[in-house]
Amino acid sequence: MSVPPLAILTTGMVTGVGLSAPASCAAIRCAIDNFQETRFMDSGGEWILGCEIPLEQPWRGRTKLVKMLSLALQECLDSVPRLLDPASIPLILGVAESMRPGRIEGLDDALLLEVEAELGVRFHQSSAVIAGGRVSAVHGLKRARELLTARESDKVIVAGVDGLLTAPALAVLEARDRLLTSQNSDGFIPGEAAAAAVVELARPSQDPQLLCVGLGFGNEPASVEAEDQPLRADGLVQAIRGALAEVGTTLAATDFRITDVSGEQYGFKEAALSLSRILRERKEEYDLWHPADCIGEVGAAIGPAILGVTHTATAKAYAPGNNVLTHFGNDDGRRAAAILTYQPVKAA
């Protein structure tokens, strides 16, 4: 049985390089970053680089997550007049994994209520929080597809918010050699972000639209910190093949990739291994885009942010093509992939 595609109507983004989707995507297109010295110091006595969002007040912790997410959600609500009543729209919100070091408290039980209070709205009763880290957005799209297919709502918002710029998180990540510091060159730059996308079931349209046509999931036994198992990219291969199977196509039919890799060799190696195991046709070019180069490692926010980048890049015709592979991976081994395709206006 074929799965119904989802149409991505609009997106909202708040990142270290822009407080809206257009501003963030323009900066990412131009390879502009906002990497600056933070107030945290590494073990070598040097300031840790980070990508912080400059809001009007120096909010911290869960309060800042609420402020960032509210801006991204409001951008979505303002840009789609047909949304009308937010009470009829479920919000599927991705946050950090429950066991991630330095995780801010209250994400599962308080964050959604605080965001509703900040916006002055109530979302649909089917709203939920997915503590899935970087793979949250793909699980959110799957849940959105289920809700829309069951006719519980006409539209769903898939969102994510996260931040790694806290002392507890940075201390553990540095101890595990995960951060880019004066003592470690194989690491990422931490950041913070919020992003959201409004989706609905795809329908015939004369207007251009970005569709999510396939989703896939897997599990990788060789984690980034594991030393007892060789990395074969089994989990990512499983996720990509699952997404391709839902579409009924091959990897060669996609034009480029946008992923969550954020600076560590592990992510690039995994992406290359999965490509070598799945791609069976020669391609002259197969670009790998990674927005973390500009916004830093932003955890659960990277999925909706990538939807925003893809939405803008395809609509403005600076993407290498209209068919996109996106994939994501968590430290706990979970992997997810999605196939996106842009349908431009057809010539008469």
Cβ neighbours for 50, distance < 8 A, ≥ 6 positions apart: 35, 36, 37, 38, 40, 164, 165, 189, 190, 191, 296
- The pLDDT score that the predictor gives to residue 115 is 97
Calculate the average pLDDT of the chain: 94
pLDDT digits (tens, 9 = 90+) for 159-203: 999 999 999 999 999 999 999 999 999 999 999 999 999 999 998
- Alpha-carbon torsion, ordered 9, 82, 161, 27, to 10 deg: 50
Strands 256-259 and 47-50: unpaired
- Give CA–CA dist 270/239, Å, rounded: 13
For residues 82-97, give the mean pLDDT.
89
Give backbone dihedrals phi and psi of 211, rounded to 5 degrees, phi first. -115, 145
For residues 211-225, give the mean pLDDT.
94
- The pLDDT score that the predictor gives to residue 1 is 45
Residue type for position 325: L
Number of C-alpha atoms within 13 angstroms, CB side, residue 202? Answer: 20
- Give CA–CA dist 314/241, Å, rounded: 23
For residues 276-294, give the mean pLDDT.
94
pLDDT digits (tens, 9 = 90+) for 124-152: 999 999 999 999 999 999 999 999 999 99
Cβ neighbours for 177, distance < 8 A, ≥ 6 positions apart: 184, 186, 187
Whether the model clears a pTM of 0.85, i.e. scores above it, the answer is yes
pLDDT over threshold 70, residue 84: no
- Give CA–CA dist 275/331, Å, rounded: 20
Partners of residue 115 on adjacent β-strands: none
Cβ neighbours for 18, distance < 8 A, ≥ 6 positions apart: 24, 25, 26, 27
Give backbone dihedrals phi and psi of 45, rounded to 5 degrees, phi first. 85, 10
Domains of the chain: 6-201 (3.40.47.10), 211-343 (3.40.47.10)
Among candidate residues 129, 128, 124, 115, the one with its CA nearest the CA of residue 87? 124
- Give CA–CA dist 309/291, Å, rounded: 8
Partners of residue 198 on adjacent β-strands: 10, 157
**Residue scoring higher pLDDT (139 or 80):** 139
pLDDT band per the 50, 70, 90 thresholds, residue 346: low
- The pLDDT score that the predictor gives to residue 299 is 97
For residues 197-220, give the mean pLDDT.
94
- Give CA–CA dist 240/245, Å, rounded: 8
Cβ neighbours for 243, distance < 8 A, ≥ 6 positions apart: 214, 215, 216, 325, 337, 338, 339
- The pLDDT score that the predictor gives to residue 348 is 47
pLDDT over threshold 50, residue 281: yes
For residues 273-281, give the mean pLDDT.
94
In the chain, how many H helices and how many E strands?
Answer: 9, 12
| Three-state DSSP state, 251 | helix
- The pLDDT score that the predictor gives to residue 83 is 63
Q: How many C-beta atoms surround the C-beta of residue 318 within 10 A? A: 10
Residue type for position 147: L
**Residue scoring higher pLDDT (213 or 84):** 213
